[in-house]
Amino acid sequence: MTNKSSNKLFEGPLISEALRQSFVKLNPRIMLRNPVMFTVEIGTVIMLAVCIWIYAGEKSQGGLGYNLAIFVILLFTVLFANFAEAIAEARGKAQANSLRKTREETPAKWVQPVGDIFTDEVKIIPSSRLKKDDVFLCETGDIIPMDGEIIEGIATIDESAITGESAPVIREAGGDKSSVTGGTKVLSDRIKVRVTTAPGESFLDKMIALVEGASRQKTPNEIALTILLASFTLIFLIVCVTLKPFSDYANTPITIAALVSLYVCLIPTTIGGLLSSIGIAGMDRALRANVITKSGKAVETAGDLDTLLLDKTGTITIGNRKATNFYPANGIDPKFFTETAVLSSLADETPEGKSIVELGKLNPASFNLDHSTFIPFTAETRSSGVNLSDGAKVRKGAFDAIRNQVVKAGYPFPKETEERVRMISSNGGTPLVVSRNSQALGVIELQDIIKPGIQERFERLRRMGVKTVMVTGDNPLTAKFIAEKAGVDDFIAEAKPEDKMNYIRKEQQGGKLVAMMGDGTNDAPALAQADVGVAMNSGTQAAKEAGNMVDLDNDPTKLIEIVEIGKQLLMTRGTLTTFSIANDVAKYFAIVPALFIVSIPSLQALNIMHLKSAESAILSAVIFNAIIIPLLIPLALKGVAYRPIGASALLRRNLLIYGLGGIIAPFIGIKLIDLLLGLFM
């Protein structure tokens, strides 16, 4: 659904809502949040007063039409800025609402509690009436009405409504895959789910609140930039206020309209008007990438990340390891070995076990397994297998576990198998040794398949200055091989949950910002410790609470996109600030000669744009200043493209485009507007 949603920046209903909001936001109490634009609003009011004054007969302030024009342009400047914020809000809200809508109007099969015993008496109520800790039932074909945790049963679920991914997923009670999301559909089986969030408190609700003006807090960086912009505003206020005595000294009367226009043109209205929309658009872009952020700060922090912790499985490698080769020991018939290997794995439900059966290409039905007992894998024996009806004991397991068994039984362990085991390990594979009646028969090679294109993504991260760390339960040898092959910078092998935590702490002590992605409850402390913790939507509630972002797609490589979104957000602020300030050069050259055209004719040499008249020069500058805001709204919403070309090169590029461009563009723009005005004036 989200993926299908339009990527067009402006849609009809959004625009009309944003237009309405542009006027609502004229309320001075709301405007006060944005000091730069607030002063423009004051300037607008002053111009209105001047117009009335002239209407009442004042002669010294120029014509009514001219003053009225300035007033209208200033009003539009404020409205444009409001519109920029409103459209960003509207887009974010629309995006979040479309996700939320699905779940509100779904009928829920509420399981009525009778005392402490849950009966199966089910009542159908609208999902909006479900409260936290209520239990509901979902059967094949039902839409899950609310976020929750499965307390009973297992089901395949179509999450395409949220993630856009068509392959169904399995969710079951207990463990790390117990979480379900409202709006998704049960494809088979039946589950009981306990509601985990109170209505209005889900992550989406929080996100909508973040996007909406009321509870949106400025991020630290936004505050710092606002301070800088406010100080520029004050500098230009001083410029304009002191201009009055200066011009008195020079015997040049300056009209209020000219002073207010100069002021509005000089203060950084472009970035001032777009600042809040840039922040909202950042969260909105995250949402479009199917990531729900719990604070604007998290997006900003993402741009600064130094270290990414990534799980190997599913991120760097495709799914799980697969069996790729059978290596029988010397003197063992390959066919017999294959048969034994398959036999050892028939009852093994793990993906590795299944892949062994697949690789054997034997029909499982051809094995006679009557009266056989399966021996499941335990951490103690570190092997699994089957005891056949004829008394034969087939085992497969880790090299040292099987070797112990073999040696204990008094058999020699084949040299070539041992050699092969070492070779497989050093190639990043996992060796599984197969034994029959405590005699080693040979070894199965399991290999990780590295995701195509992952090396390029890591290379891109490296050029951004982000270090990637692979977390895996594999032994160090295997881990090192995969790490090298995939191009990650570091790895944590034989990782226990606390290892992640320790690694994050260690990096943070060195001053680095760390991000990690996790889903399990045992990831929660590390998610909370990380500067950016991305919980997968399929993960447990604890994980989702601990992180500061939730990825609806459960896609671990999403971190890369999040980093880019964060960088784009900061870059958009920086470049538009530069652009806004650089614009002032041209505006000075337009307005200052116009102010003194009568008393100091020699200053006409500064009118390098050859603007027609003083009034047309001032009008052109103010009009340019106003229309540049809506012209830049698309850039503010989409963000400045990030290129991992190194900080200095990036700075040069952006300085050239937005700095030099910011100096040149208004010269052209103001001249064009002046030519256009010349047709009417």
Partner 1 sequence: MSTELTGIVVTFLLTILLAYPLGRYIARMYAGEKTLLDFLNPAERFIYRICRIDPNQPMNWKEFLKAMLTINLLWLVYAFFIFLYQSHLPLNPDGNPDMTPDLSFNTAISFLVNCNLQDYSGETGVTYLTQLFVITFLQFVSAATGIACLVGFLNGLRAKTTDNLGNFWSIFTKTITRILLPLCVVIAVLLAFNGTPASFAAKDKIITLQGDTVQVSRGPAAGMIAIKHLGTNGGGWFGANSAHPLENPNYFTNMLEIIVQVLIPMGMIFAMGFYIKRKKFARTIFWVMTVGFLCLAIPTIITEIHGNPEIAHMGVAQPTGAMEGKEVRFGPAASGYWSILTTVISTGSVNAMHDSFMPISGLMQLLGMLVNAFYGGCGVGILNYFIYIIIAVFISGLMVGRTPEFMGHKVEAREVKIAALVTLLSAFIIKGGTALAAYYFVYHGNADWAVKPNAWLNNPGYHGFSEMLYQYTSSNANNGSGYEGLADNNPFWNITAGFAMILGRYLPIIGPVAIVGLMAKKKYVPESAGTLRVDSLTFGTMTFAVIIIITALSYFPPLVLGPIAEYLGMH
Active site (catalytic) residues: 311
Q: CB of 343: closest distance to partner 1 in angstroms?
A: 52
Residues in 556-575 that interact with partner 1 by CB under 8 A: 566-568, 570-571, 573-575
Q: CB of 275: closest distance to partner 1 in angstroms?
A: 12
The span of 44-52, 70-78, 229-237, 336-344 binding partner 1 (CB under 8 A) equals 229-237
State which H helix or E strand residue 268 sits in: none
Q: CB of 52: closest distance to partner 1 in angstroms?
A: 28
Count residues binding partner 1 (CB under 8 A).
72
Token pair recorded at residue 9? 């920046």
Q: Is 242 in the site for partner 1 (CB under 8 A)?
A: yes
Q: CB of 293: closest distance to partner 1 in angstroms?
A: 16
Binding mask 293-332 for partner 1 (x = CB under 8 A): -------xx-xx-x--------------------------
Query: 285 vs 420, which CB is nearer to partner 1?
Result: 285
Q: Is 667 in the site for partner 1 (CB under 8 A)?
A: no
Residues in 253-272 that interact with partner 1 by CB under 8 A: 266
Is 131 in contact with 199 (CB distance < 8 Å)?
A: yes
Nearest to 356 by CA among 434, 439, 415, 436: 434
Query: 108 vs 256, which CB is nearer to partner 1?
Result: 256
Q: Say how many Å lie between the first and final Cα of the chain, rounded.
A: 52
Q: What phi and psi values does residue 66 have, to the nearest 5 degrees? A: -65, -45
Region of 291 please: left (phi>0), alpha (psi -120 to 50) or beta: beta
Query: 283 vs 582, which CB is nearer to partner 1?
Result: 582
Query: 434 vs 560, which CB is nearer to partner 1?
Result: 560
Query: 34 vs 197, which CB is nearer to partner 1?
Result: 34
Binding mask 172-211 for partner 1 (x = CB under 8 A): ----------------------------------------
Q: Starting at the edge strand that comes first in sequence, how are the strands of the sheet with 185-189 ordered?
A: 169-172, 154-158, 185-189
Q: Is 506 in the site for partner 1 (CB under 8 A)?
A: no
**Torsion angle of alpha carbons 137, 138, 144, 146, nearest 10°?**
10
Residues in 575-594 that interact with partner 1 by CB under 8 A: 575, 577-578, 581-582, 584-585, 588, 592
Q: Starting at the edge strand that comes first in sequence, how are the strands of the sheet with 191-195 ordered?
A: 117-126, 107-114, 135-138, 191-195, 148-152, 179-180
Residue 503: Cβ within 10 Å count: 21
Nearest to 208 by CA among 301, 104, 86, 91: 91
CA separation for the pair 264, 291 (Å, rounded): 38
Q: CB of 290: closest distance to partner 1 in angstroms?
A: 22
CA separation for the pair 120, 114 (Å, rounded): 10
Residues in 594-613 that interact with partner 1 by CB under 8 A: 596, 600, 602-603, 605-606
Return the bridge partners of 323, or none.
Answer: 446
Token pair recorded at residue 664? 């040149």
Residues in 644-663 that interact with partner 1 by CB under 8 A: 646-648, 650-652, 654-655, 658-659
Is 260 in contact with 74 (CB distance < 8 Å)?
A: yes
Is 566 in contact with 293 (CB distance < 8 Å)?
A: no
Q: CB of 252: closest distance to partner 1 in angstroms?
A: 9
Q: Starting at the edge strand that comes first in sequence, how are the strands of the sheet with 291-293 ordered?
A: 291-293, 549-551, 532-536, 514-518, 307-311, 467-471, 490-492
33, 190, 512, 638: residue in contact with partner 1 (rule CB under 8 A): 512
52, 241, 672, 675: residue in contact with partner 1 (rule CB under 8 A): 241
Residues in 461-500 that interact with partner 1 by CB under 8 A: 462-467
Binding mask 346-375 for partner 1 (x = CB under 8 A): ------------------------------
Q: Is 246 in the site for partner 1 (CB under 8 A)?
A: yes
Q: Is 235 in the site for partner 1 (CB under 8 A)?
A: yes
